[in-house]
Amino acid sequence: MQSDTYIPRRLDDQWKLGFWDADVAFPFVFFLFLGWMSGTKWGFVLCAGAGFLLSRWISRTKADKHPAFAMHWAYWALPTNPATALRATPPSHIRRMVG
């Protein structure tokens, strides 16, 4: 009856791509793809550099904040469309809530 049971401690960790969180790695991968699509070596190098710098900026912006900071920022800053609209929360253009 006494058996060692594994209890996972990290069920809600963010998705990772290598060592990076997915929201930090996405700009680098996207710009890498754009550089590959450009078809030139300089275009690839410039896009990869821009993607790397943008990823570093995002990771520094996210530092010491909530793990879902990027998702929260996207909800409040970007316009609403049917794909991102949430039913349980008010629209993001309503800033004052009573209650």
DSSP letter for each residue of 5-58: ----S-SSPPPEETTEEHHHHHHHHHHHHHHHHH-SHHHHHHHHHHHHHHHHHH
User: Model-level pTM?
Assistant: 0.64
Domain presence at residue 53:
yes
Domain presence at residue 20:
yes
Q: Sorting pLDDT into bands at 50, 70 and 90, what band is 51?
A: very high
Q: What percent of the chain has pLDDT over 90?
A: 30
Domain presence at residue 93:
no
Per-residue model confidence (pLDDT) at position 40: 93
Per-residue model confidence (pLDDT) at position 84: 60
Domain presence at residue 69:
yes
Domain presence at residue 86:
no
pLDDT at 30 over 90: yes
Domain that holds residue 47: 16-77
Q: Which of 15-29, 48-62, 67-81 is predicted with the least confidence, judged by mean pLDDT? A: 67-81
Question: In total, how many domains does the chain have?
Answer: 1
